[in-house]
Amino acid sequence: MIRGISGANLPALRHHNAALVLDLLRAATRVGTGGISRLELAERTGLTPQAVSKITARLRAEGLAEESGRQASTGGKPRTELRLVRRARYAAGVHLDRDELTVVLADLAGERVDARTSPLDFGRPADEVLDAVAREVRALSAGREPGILGVGVASPGPLDHASGVLHRVTGFPDWDGFPLRDALALRLGLPVVVDKDTNAAALAVLGGGPDADAGGSFAYLHLGTGLGAGLVIEGALYRGDRTGAGEFGHQVVQLDGPVCECGNRGCIEAMCLAAVDRGDTAGAAYLLGVGAANLVLLLDIDRVVLGGRTVLADEGLFGREVAAVLSERTARSVGRTVPVSVASGGVRVVADGAALLVLASLFGGAALG
């Protein structure tokens, strides 16, 4: 094989083409246009009308697409419109927080259709944690089992997204090296994909809701039981070559600061959480703004999106304070105002993004970031 050139076998090519068509059907369904014609699908994918007809026939046979009506005639035969059958399949999304377990079920359009939340002690033995996850996933998917595509799990990092293996999670060293993806897949008998909680939330911002239209490059900053970031660069989720990007909470902002559980001093996570613990919400928001300014100056991102339980408890204060710090520290250097917003989706945005990790395989990945 020539170095630098890789081919795709026929089944993979068929999947790629079907994913292109499915993503356009998904987009048409989400915006409420009613549907999209086969001719439009051919024009927008670059596929031949014959190829589109074969793909859509197969998707209809699998129950993934259906006719939604006919377009008004412009002189010829009215074109039949197709749309995605949103609830033909489902994806489960799991947010493993340090003290709470959230499981959601999403339809093919990525919309949440059900959710469950329960207490969780992430410090318990791995088998007990996975038993709890499996129990909640089964309860939520009861009656829909044949249509469950898989389970996306969003966990505290660092971790290896490609292998689904956790690394040394701050404060929980016993998880280091644990094969979360494979262990949970064995329990559930379903495909499982694992990513960091902040990456999942950034994917939810990128792939759905009113925030999605902004595109571009942004940082999602999550302040809850920990502090981390999900990075979207030029419209795509950025994990880094070793899937370790976004360890935002462990940037040092005070050399002689308090000791962090990671072993360093003055990490912004330790300082933010300490401020929250003593009731200094404004101080935590100021520190979050300092970290956000560092990211803006380093990566030249377009905007900052905030999330996490601590932020949502007083989103007005966090939004104002982070925006003020950004203006003070970056306006002269970047020559513009960096918008700050709070992610839609509330406390379940991470679990919503975890479900999108599963759907990405169906829609070709790029469609969901």
* Percent of the chain with pLDDT strictly greater than 70: 90
- Phi first, then psi: give them for residue 84, nearest 5 degrees: -75, 140
What topology is assigned to 10-84 in CATH?
Answer: Arc Repressor Mutant, subunit A (1.10.10)
Place of tokens 């959601």: 104
| Whether the Cβ atoms of residue 77 and residue 57 lie closer than 8 Å to each other | no
Mean pLDDT of the chain: 89
Taking 60 as the threshold, does the pLDDT of residue 9 lie above it?
A: no
Cβ within 8 Å of residue 82, ≥6 positions away: 25, 35, 36, 37, 38, 41, 56, 60, 65, 66, 67, 68
pLDDT at 208: 62
Closest alpha carbon to 205 in 97, 303, 105: 303
pLDDT at 2: 31
Amino acid at position 134, single letter = A
pLDDT at 216: 83
- Cα distance between the two ends of the chain: 30
User: pLDDT of 85-96, one tens digit each?
Assistant: 999 999 999 999
pLDDT at 13: 57
Statement: the pTM of the whole predicted model exceeds 0.95: no
Place of tokens 């942004």: 218
User: pLDDT of 312-353, one tens digit each?
Assistant: 999 999 999 999 999 999 988 888 899 999 998 889 999 999
Encode burial over 122-143: b for 16+ CB neighbours within 10 A, e otherwise: beeebeebbebbbebbeebbee
Mean pLDDT for the stretch of residues 7-12: 45
pLDDT at 247: 87
User: pLDDT of 187-237, one tens digit each?
Assistant: 999 999 999 999 999 999 987 644 444 458 999 999 998 999 999 999 899
Q: Which long-range contacts (CB under 8 A, 24 or more apart) does 67-70 make?
A: 67/35, 68/34, 68/35, 69/34, 69/35
The DSSP bridge partners found for residue 341 are 305
Q: Which long-range contacts (CB under 8 A, 24 or more apart) does 234-238 make?
A: 235/206, 235/369, 236/366, 236/369, 237/199, 237/202, 237/203, 237/206, 237/369
Cβ within 8 Å of residue 94, ≥6 positions away: 101, 102, 103, 133, 136, 137, 151, 152, 153, 154, 351, 354
pLDDT at 217: 93
The C-alpha atoms of residue 17 and residue 37 are separated, in whole angstroms, by 16
Taking 60 as the threshold, does the pLDDT of residue 11 lie above it?
A: no
User: pLDDT of 316-326, one tens digit each?
Assistant: 999 999 999 99
Mean pLDDT for the stretch of residues 55-71: 90
The C-alpha atoms of residue 270 and residue 249 are separated, in whole angstroms, by 8
Taking 90 as the threshold, does the pLDDT of residue 241 lie above it?
A: no
Distances (CA, A) of 343 to 9, 175, 178, 289: 40, 29, 30, 16
DSSP character string of 230-242: EEEETTEEE--TT
The C-alpha atoms of residue 193 and residue 289 are separated, in whole angstroms, by 32
Q: What is the CATH number of domain 90-201+349-368?
A: 3.30.420.40
Mean pLDDT for the stretch of residues 102-127: 95
pLDDT at 246: 84
Length of the chain in residues, anyone?
369
Taking 70 as the threshold, does the pLDDT of residue 75 lie above it?
A: no
pLDDT at 348: 95
> What is the second-level CATH architecture of the domain 212-343?
2-Layer Sandwich (3.30)
Instruction: Give the CA count within 13 Å in the CB-facing half-sphere of 312.
Output: 13
Question: Is 100 in a helix, a strand, or coil?
Answer: strand
Taking 90 as the threshold, does the pLDDT of residue 119 lie above it?
A: yes
The answer to whether 10-84 and 212-343 have equal CATH topology is: no
Domain ranges, ordered by start, for the chain:
10-84, 90-201+349-368, 212-343
133 or 212: which leads in pLDDT: 133
pLDDT at 210: 41
User: pLDDT of 265-322, one tens digit each?
Assistant: 999 999 999 999 999 999 999 999 999 999 999 999 999 999 999 999 999 999 999 9
The C-alpha atoms of residue 296 and residue 218 are separated, in whole angstroms, by 9
Instruction: Give the CA count within 13 Å in the CB-facing half-sphere of 308.
Output: 29
User: pLDDT of 14-23, one tens digit each?
Assistant: 788 999 999 9
DSSP character string of 9-33: -HHHHHHHHHHHHHHHHHHHHHTT-
246 or 149: which leads in pLDDT: 149
User: pLDDT of 147-191, one tens digit each?
Assistant: 999 999 999 988 999 999 999 888 898 999 999 999 999 999 999
**DSSP element (H, E) containing 329:** helix 315-334
Closest alpha carbon to 369 in 257, 173, 265, 218: 218
pLDDT at 72: 63
